[in-house]
Amino acid sequence: MFPVGAEATIEQLTADPHPLLARLRAAEPVSWLPALNGWLVTRHDLALQVMKDAATFTVDDPRFSTAQVVGPSMLSLDADEHARHRTPFSRQFRPREIEDRFGDFVRAECARLVDGFVATGRAELRRALAGPLAVAVVADALGLDATDAKRVLAWYDAIVSTVAEISAGHEPDPGGAQAFGELRAHIEGSTAKPSLLADAARALALPEVVSNAAVLMFGGIETTEGMIANLVLHLLTNPSQLDVVRADPARIPDAVEESLRMEPAAAVVDRYATRDVELAGASIARGDLVTVSLTAANRDPAVFDNPDEFDLGRPNLRHQLAFARGPHFCLGIDLARLETRVAVEAVLDRLPGLALTDPATPAGLVFRKPDGVHVRWDAP
Ligand code: HEM
């Protein structure tokens, strides 16, 4: 019934999924993949349809592994409960508020990180810049100072590995629960200080603030690290497009969107069918897992001409779906864009003659990023 999906493997989806996703999109745009034990949606229009119809395709399901570790949050609720959890944070994530609240911090942190390695002439930019910046921003958003970034990373790692264990059907080790307990203790002690969380604490019960704080952390670290690393990689492997942004740095935001289109740092979003439903010839049963491939939707030739090309001149590059759509569209869009823009500005400005030293490509089943972005430049 779904021959292309039947043959798909996790390895293919993890390494270079684009040829497989192109075949699925053309022949089986909603396909059953035994490897995922669920449906995979690969067309742009169908991806939008699923993400916008939360009554039929919900996140609110006991199998949702993140919620098993951090409790119910905006990420795992729908309808009125979703709005109740999300609204107390939304105002603070508007572009103006993000620039006012985080602009100077992000610029200073990028400058500090680049200062740390600029004299060496070589670095691996994912671990030297993208990762530490993403952690520092989340630490700051949670009301921790920069010296506590290590704690945030330790909590993050423990929670992520527990979520992965649960997703793989294993019994989780207690590390995730312990990390979540430490995060809770920190937040309980800090909501009196002005921060993003203090405002939310006026509208939500404390355990709800803690769960949503964990989701901000969960959503804001690995994705942003990947988003920055992928953009640097796309620019360094597409010299003509690098020339465009070097000649006119005002084009950096276009490069950010086009890089997100080529490789969304979060490749998929998961939903569960609330009823039996037909979608593009597929008979989805109530309770089935429906995974939307943002990666596949972003290279749909019905929307994007020559979809495998990194091209800042696309008229519609903002139609990319890396931040999802519908009620769960990413809350951190403008913060992630700010971090990525400033990081790339710093790299281009302060590392003259920048070039890759080792080939690299993004990889990963859910979070896609290169293993490393090894570069050299003309040291001062
Ligand atoms: C500072 C950085 C970030 C923060 C604080 C953040 C926060 C969040 C939060 C709180 C949600 C849940 C919204 C809801 O359920 O109503 C969310 C959703 C999402 N975020 Fe982000 N995010 C960040 C960066 C990113 C990046 C860099 C990407 C990918 C390039 C990304 C992709 C997504 C996606 C795809 C969803 C939708 C999940 C779903 O529909 O199931 N986020 N984000």
Tens digits of per-residue pLDDT, 157-214? Answer: 888 888 888 887 888 778 888 888 888 888 888 777 777 888 888 899 999 999 999 9
- CA 122 to ligand 1 centroid distance, Å: 32
Q: Which of 178, 137, 161, 132 is nearest to 65 (CA)?
A: 161
Q: Which residue type occupies 262?
A: M
- CA 214 to ligand 1 centroid distance, Å: 12
132 φ, ψ (degrees, to nearest 5):
-60, -35
Q: Which atom of ligand 1 is nearest to the CA of 271?
A: 41
**Domain membership of residue 121 as a residue range:** 62-265+303-376
- CA 7 to ligand 1 centroid distance, Å: 31
Ligand 1 contacts CB of residue 217 (under 6 A): no
Quickly list H helices, 42-148. Answer: 44-52, 65-70, 79-90, 95-117, 125, 131-141
| Residue-averaged pLDDT of the chain | 94
379 pLDDT higher than 90: no
C-alpha to C-alpha distance for 126 and 133, rounded to whole angstroms: 10
Max distance between CA atoms of the chain, in angstroms, equals 63
User: Is residue 282 included in any domain, yes or no?
Assistant: no
Take atom 40 of ligand 1 and give the residue whose Cα is closest: 328
User: Is residue 117 included in any domain, yes or no?
Assistant: yes
C-alpha to C-alpha distance for 301 and 45, rounded to whole angstroms: 11
Residue labelled with tokens 């597929």: 282
Write the DSSP string, 213-277: HHHHHHHHSHHHHHHHHHHHHHHHT-HHHHHHHHH-GGGHHHHHHHHHHHS-SB-EEEEEESS-E
Instruction: Give pLDDT tens digits for 265-287.
Output: 999 999 999 999 999 999 999 99
Q: Which atom of ligand 1 is nearest to the CA of 51?
A: 40
Please report the pLDDT score of residue 205 as a whole number: 93
Number of domains in the chain: 1
Token output for 234: 């796309």
Instruction: Give pLDDT tens digits for 289-323.
Output: 999 999 999 999 999 999 999 999 999 999 999 99
Assess contact for 31 and 3: CB atoms under 8 A: no
C-alpha to C-alpha distance for 351 and 347, rounded to whole angstroms: 6
Average pLDDT of span 233-258: 98
- CA 193 to ligand 1 centroid distance, Å: 25
User: Is residue 102 included in any domain, yes or no?
Assistant: yes
146 pLDDT higher than 70: no
User: Is residue 286 included in any domain, yes or no?
Assistant: no
CATH of the domain at 118: 1.10.630.10
User: Is residue 129 included in any domain, yes or no?
Assistant: yes
Ligand 1 contacts CB of residue 216 (under 6 A): yes
